[in-house]
Amino acid sequence: MTEREHGAFSSGPFAKGHGTGNDFVLVADVDGSAPLTPERVRALADRRFGIGGDGVIRAVPSGRAGDDALDAAAHGAAATVWAMDYWNADGSVSEMCGNGVRVFVRYLLEQRLAELPDGGSIDIATRAGVKRVVRRGALLSADLGGFELGRDSLVAADGLDVARPGLAVSTGNPHIVVALASEDELRDLDLQRAPALDPVPADGANVEFVVPGVIADGVGSIRMRVHERGVGETLSCGTGAVAAAMATRHWSGDAADRWIIDVPGGRLEVELDERGHAWLTGPAEIVFRGETLSPVP
Ligand SMILES: N[C@@H](CCC[C@H](N)C(=O)O)C(=O)O
């Protein structure tokens, strides 16, 4: 019997949103009574039999999330904050999603579950800790906190002549950043198959391929494509943009603290503040609302 015949959906409202084309199905669970399951996530994220998305996000009060990692009190914040329960399209959970946290806040505002005046901030519990999101006009900025540079590995991908060195970067979730020599190389990559990593990271990794551009007036530029853990190639990855900026900054000898990252779905900005926190700024939109029907939409 297939997952669809099992009835992985239950009826209820949802919204669909995206940040630079990285798209998510969003559901609210105000009393913590509707936890997600891998089957439900895969059904909702299915682009042919479901709604479709790179991920599924449940909005739940942090104290009711039913997951210690999403308990804001454990991170020293108020237990009343909203928690972003983020799942990849394949039914796996991730610690963090940089585009997702902005789209999540936009969803809370549209659903009137939170208020955020221009310049104001809101704290969101994630599995990578509590993140602060600030409204800047039409854009949202998220303080994704510190990052860690890790070890080099070898990355092979379809379209590349030989395996290339990749630098591990943790932004709460795992990334490997690979510098390419030209925009032609970036364009000719075929990311339908996951890149092969050596050594293979225990928890997998998101892999960003970047072409660093010029650094002018303290601002660097990067073109990026990404293969996401648990999804495949996506049009954008916010934590991936942070990883790409911090790896490129490292390779440049810390030449700039502000980076513009162009991805297939648009443009993101990453800025490192004086505390060593990486801020991710970009658009976040809700594009439609609907209702799932049981057992299939
Ligand atoms: N697209 C996201 C990252 C989503 C999670 C990732 N696939 C993982 O498994 O870590 C972003 O915008 O950061």
For position 2, what pLDDT does the model report? 44
- Residue 225 CA to ligand 1 centre (angstroms): 13
DSSP-derived 3-state class of residue 41: helix
Q: Which token pair is 61?
A: 């009060």
* Counts for the chain of helices (H) and strands (E), in that order: 5, 18
- Residue 249 CA to ligand 1 centre (angstroms): 21
User: For ligand 1, is residue 239 a contact (CB within 6 Å)?
Assistant: yes
From the list 97, 105, 125, 242, the catalytic residue is 97
Does residue 108 have a pLDDT over 60? yes
Does residue 253 have a pLDDT over 50? yes
User: For ligand 1, is residue 127 a contact (CB within 6 Å)?
Assistant: no
From the list 237, 242, 261, 270, the catalytic residue is 237
> Averaged over 229-241, what is the pLDDT?
98
User: For ligand 1, is residue 237 a contact (CB within 6 Å)?
Assistant: yes
Does residue 217 have a pLDDT over 70? yes
Say if residues 269 and 281 touch (Cβ distance below 8 Å). Answer: yes
Look at 8-22, 91-105, 137-151 and tell me which has the smallest mean pLDDT: 8-22
**Chain mean pLDDT for the chain:** 94
User: For ligand 1, is residue 171 a contact (CB within 6 Å)?
Assistant: no
**What's the pLDDT tens digit per position in 2-20?**
444 444 556 789 999 999 9
Say if residues 43 and 84 touch (Cβ distance below 8 Å). Answer: no
With a CB cutoff of 8 Å and minimum separation 6, the contacts of 224 are 208, 209, 210, 211, 240, 241, 244, 261, 262, 263
Q: Which token pair is 16?
A: 């669909």
Strands 12-19 and 219-228: unpaired
Buried b (16+ CB within 10 A) or exposed e, 141-158: bbbbbebeeeeebbbebe
Annotation says 97 is catalytic: yes
Q: Which token pair is 25?
A: 């199905």
- Residue 86 CA to ligand 1 centre (angstroms): 9
DSSP-derived 3-state class of residue 274: coil
User: For ligand 1, is residue 238 a contact (CB within 6 Å)?
Assistant: yes
* CA distances in angstroms from 236 to 9, 37, 82, 114, 268, listed in the order given: 27, 25, 24, 26, 9
Say if residues 19 and 236 touch (Cβ distance below 8 Å). Answer: yes
For position 10, what pLDDT does the model report? 66
Does residue 234 have a pLDDT over 90? yes
Q: Which fold has domain 3-145+284-290?
A: Diaminopimelate Epimerase; Chain A, domain 1 (3.10.310)
- Residue 87 CA to ligand 1 centre (angstroms): 9
* Rg, the chain, Cα only: 19
User: For ligand 1, is residue 282 a contact (CB within 6 Å)?
Assistant: no
Helix axes 98-110, 238-251, angle to 10 degrees: 140
Say if residues 89 and 45 touch (Cβ distance below 8 Å). Answer: yes
**What's the pLDDT tens digit per position in 269-289?**
999 999 999 999 999 999 999
Give CATH 3.10.310.10 domain extents, the chain: 3-145+284-290, 148-275
Confidence of residue 77 (pLDDT cuts 50, 70, 90): confident
For position 5, what pLDDT does the model report? 43
For position 42, what pLDDT does the model report? 96
Q: Which phi and psi angles does 228 have, rounded to 5°?
A: -90, 135
**What's the pLDDT tens digit per position in 166-216?**
999 999 999 999 999 999 999 999 999 999 999 999 999 999 999 999 999
Alpha-carbon span 23 to 266, nearest angstrom:
13
Alpha-carbon span 158 to 140, nearest angstrom:
35
Q: Which fold has domain 148-275?
A: Diaminopimelate Epimerase; Chain A, domain 1 (3.10.310)
Ligand 1 atom 3: residue of nearest CA: 97
With a CB cutoff of 8 Å and minimum separation 6, the contacts of 200 are none
> Averaged over 58-72, what is the pLDDT?
93
For position 258, what pLDDT does the model report? 98
User: Whose CA is closest to 227, among 219, 238, 235?
Assistant: 235
For position 72, what pLDDT does the model report? 83
State the Cα torsion 201-195-96-29 to the nearest 10°.
Answer: -110
Annotation says 103 is catalytic: no
ipTM tops the 0.85 cut? yes
Q: Given ligand 1 and candidates 41, 228, 261, which is best to mutate, with the most ligand atoms within 8 Å of its CB?
A: 228
Confidence of residue 293 (pLDDT cuts 50, 70, 90): confident
Is the model more confident about 118 or about 80? 118
Alpha-carbon span 102 to 40, nearest angstrom:
23
Confidence of residue 297 (pLDDT cuts 50, 70, 90): very low
Does residue 41 have a pLDDT over 90? yes
